[in-house]
Amino acid sequence: MDNAFDESTGYAIIAAMAPHPLPRVGAETHLRDDLMFDSIRLIELAMALERQFRLPALDLNESADLTTAGDVLNLVRRQLKTGGRA
Amino acid sequence: MTTTLDFSDVRNWLVDPRTDKGIRFLGDGGDWDYHSYADLSLAARRSAAAMTAAGAQPGEVVCLLMPTSYPTLCAYFGAWAAGLTPCMITPPSLTSSTEYVELVSSILRRARPVLMITTERHQDIADSALAAADLPGRAFLHREAEEPVEVPKAGPDDLAILQFTSGSTGVPRGVPVTWQNLAVNVSCTRAWSDWSEDDSVASWLPLYHDMGLVGTLLAAVCSQADLWLMQPAQFLRDPGRWLECMTRATITAAPPFAYEYAVERIAAERIASWDLSGWRTAFVGAQTINPAVLDRFVQATAAAGFDRGTLTPAYGLAETTLGVTGTDHGAPPLAVQVRPDTLRFGQRVELTRQLHLGAEPVPTRNGWLTGCGGPRLGTRISIVDQDGVELPPGHLGEIRVSGETVTAGYTNDADSGGTRFAPDGLHTGDAGFLHAGQLFVLGRMGDSLKVRGRNVYVEDLEAAVVEATGLSPSRCVVISAPETERAGVLLLVEGGRRGWEESAYHTLRSRLGVEPRIRFAVGNRGLIQRTTSGKPRRRGMWQRLQEGTLKASIVEPEVPA
């Protein structure tokens, strides 16, 4: 299983799934205020990240302090480290 | 023949539960975990014992921060078994813990719960919210005691549940619902769905939302009907799991976006493999219902034998427990096309066409509205002008509701926004008209709008625009300006267009999502009408916009590059 984590791919997926895509998405880009994510689009983002990084279900909803693109990639990174058994 | 329930019927299952019917919870592996009403009742009475041991006394409120699951229902109905009033709290989403603690603590300050029940996942944030609300103690982790309690008696005017509707920032409004309110409302739901003992329910709606809680969960549990329950995320990941339930269950409810989302994402062959001919009632509500969306759902599910008469557009709000109106069982929804320039408060609305869904395709735009049927049992609706005087059928005015489904008012005199309890009934703050015996709802007048079933308050939008643009709060105001098929807002600015547009647009769009229409009205001083105390007269400005008498240039900004 390929666990290599390419951060720029992660940001590109977040940008591509955003209801309001911005040319530059970085760690501080706000999911709701900058990219206009809502809980529905967040699920679609989770599914795209799971496909790309071969992860089990990512829980992006019902979490506090998951507000920026950097927060999402940190969660992905943690899942990859634990082999998806976080 | 549907029977109505009285206040003792809706809680009687706790002492006389069925062993042959129950609730199925969708597991992550796609399997269903079944618990009979007898199991649920016993677990609820054991959970009640744990709450009582922790010091909870009958008549007090408990708040629950828990996801849709069997333990959550054990705790929720455990509160009933202990004579307590349960109140679901919205979980965090896309929010910092600071913002979330502030929101929850404002609810806790109004609800004053004796316990805040949660699971390990949200224990820390629940503790922080209790501390921020100056309430003693720590979060209570859901658990069951060995010895179940005996269920105490309750009166019709005792509180059954406490619902919170999202108010403007820091001001969520608590709506206490009595056993009598609940019994009447569940009876109305049963009447709209022509309820029989063979009916069963499926739902993925969040339990912290009135339609998910009252419209599906409590309607099923109070009737001891078989229920298939999913978490919202499970529906969003694979909406087919919801429709697949409808090959067995007969009743469901969802906002219109869910019906659209489902048929957009499920392959036609998969839909065709199902038999949906036994599906009897599909409530549609919680946001403006575009008939074209219903039409697409009917087309997409025709191969599965779905009957268009199954669709039941409905209107309701937390302040009336839930449902106020719904269409007649089995009747296909009625769509009408209105002349948009005749949508003026207090005036007669001109209709250019009307059709029953399925007779011919409905165009996506051009002023179509869906009929939401009428009230049942003792509920009465009327359309009134700004002085509360009843208007004749066909005239646009404010929807007023009276009857035993209307709750007694907000807790702790919360600011009511545009919805107002009065001796002659609940003034909903929603604009609508009556036609062909049905209610047609245009939406919020001025002060708020519904986005995917969620209330968005214009004061919040206004504060965000002021923060993002640096515009003076005395020179700008946001009003809700609903269209026939979608929500909309108008930002009024006194002064010129001087570079605030892009950031204002971006701020509004990020809070409203992609659908609602956003417009700017720029004009001279005096454009914004205010009361003597300085509060904006949003309803008056909305009326002027509708009449075309707003002294401003109105522009519709493009999506900034």
pLDDT in tens, B310-338: 999 999 999 999 999 999 999 999 999 99
Question: What is the CATH code for B449-555?
Answer: 3.30.300.30
> Going by CATH, does the domain composed of A7-81 fall within 3.90.1010.10?
no
Query: Is A21 within 8 Å of chain B by CB?
Result: no
- CB-CB neighbours of B548 under 10 Å: 9
Instruction: Look at residue A64 in the predicted model and tell me its pLDDT.
Output: 86
Helices (H), B246-353: 256-265, 268-272, 291-301
Phi, psi torsion values for B225, nearest 5 degrees: -100, 155
Q: Which of B510, B511, B514 to mutate to test the interface with A (most CBs of A within 10 A)?
A: B510
For residue B412, give both structure tokens.
Answer: 């702790």
Instruction: Look at residue A4 in the predicted model and tell me its pLDDT.
Output: 60
The whole-angstrom separation of Cα B31 and Cα B28 is 7
Instruction: Look at residue B416 in the predicted model and tell me its pLDDT.
Output: 59
Using 50, 70 and 90 to split pLDDT, how confident is the model at B169? very low
Query: Is A36 within 8 Å of chain B by CB?
Result: yes
Among B237, B507, B559, whose Cβ lies nearest the Cβ of A43? Answer: B237
| Angle ∠(B327,B240,B450) on CA atoms, nearest 5 | 50
Instruction: Look at residue A1 in the predicted model and tell me its pLDDT.
Output: 41
Query: Is A3 within 8 Å of chain B by CB?
Result: no
Closest CA to B529 of B489, B456, B479, B488: B479
Average pLDDT over residues B14-29: 96
Task: Give A46→chain B minimum CA distance, Å.
Answer: 9
CB-based burial, B196-224: b 16+ in 10 Å, e otherwise = eeebbbbbbbbbbbbbbbbbbbbbbbbbb
* Chain B residues inside the 8 Å CB shell of A38: 94, 452, 513
* Chain A residues inside the 8 Å CB shell of B507: 33
- Contact at CB, B510 and A33, closer than 8 angstroms: yes
| Angle ∠(A13,A16,A21) on CA atoms, nearest 5 | 130
Q: Where are the beta strands (DSSP E) in B293-396?
A: 311-316, 323-326, 334-338, 351-356, 368-370, 380-384
Query: Is B147 within 8 Å of chain A by CB?
Result: no
Query: Is A62 within 8 Å of chain B by CB?
Result: yes
The whole-angstrom separation of Cα B382 and Cα B137 is 47
Average pLDDT over residues B509-515: 83
Q: Which of B69, B88, B93, B204 to mutate to test the interface with A (most CBs of A within 10 A)?
A: B93
Contact by Cβ (8 Å): B310, B301: no
Q: Which fold has domain B334-411+425-444?
A: Luciferase; domain 3 (2.30.38)
- Contact at CB, B510 and A39, closer than 8 angstroms: no
Domain ranges of chain B: 9-196+206-230, 334-411+425-444, 449-555
Using 50, 70 and 90 to split pLDDT, how confident is the model at B166? low
**A86 pLDDT higher than 50:** no
Average pLDDT over residues B525-531: 86
- Quick: pLDDT tens for B215-259: 999 999 999 999 999 999 999 999 999 999 999 999 999 999 999
Query: Is A65 within 8 Å of chain B by CB?
Result: yes
**A3 pLDDT higher than 60:** no
The shares of helix, strand and coil residues in chain B, as percent rounded to the nearest 5, are 30, 25, 45
- Contact at CB, A38 and B452, closer than 8 angstroms: yes
Average pLDDT over residues B511-536: 85
Has the ipTM of the complex gone over 0.95?
Answer: no
Q: Is B439 buried (19+), middle (13-18) or exposed (0-12) by CB count in 10 A?
A: buried
CB-based contacts of B19: which residues, under 8 Å, 6+ apart? B36, B37, B38
Among A19, A34, A67, whose Cβ lies nearest the Cβ of B95? Answer: A67
- Quick: pLDDT tens for B42-87: 999 999 999 999 999 999 999 999 999 999 999 999 999 999 999 9
Among A19, A20, A43, whose Cβ lies nearest the Cβ of B236? Answer: A43
Give the torsion sign (CA, B131, B113, B80, B426): negative
Determine the residue type at A5. Answer: F
**B420 pLDDT higher than 90:** no
Give the torsion sign (CA, B60, B63, B67, B68): positive
- Closest residue, chain A, to B237 (C-alpha): A43
The whole-angstrom separation of Cα B512 and Cα B399 is 24
- Closest residue, chain B, to A46 (C-alpha): B237
**B195 pLDDT higher than 60:** yes
CB-based contacts of B9: which residues, under 8 Å, 6+ apart? B183, B222
**A2 pLDDT higher than 50:** no
Q: Is B317 buried (19+), middle (13-18) or exposed (0-12) by CB count in 10 A?
A: buried
Q: Among 3.40.50.300, 3.90.1010.20, 3.40.50.980, 1.10.10.10, name the CATH number for the domain at B9-196+206-230.
A: 3.40.50.980
Helix (H, G, I), strand (E, B), or coil: what is residue B407?
A: coil
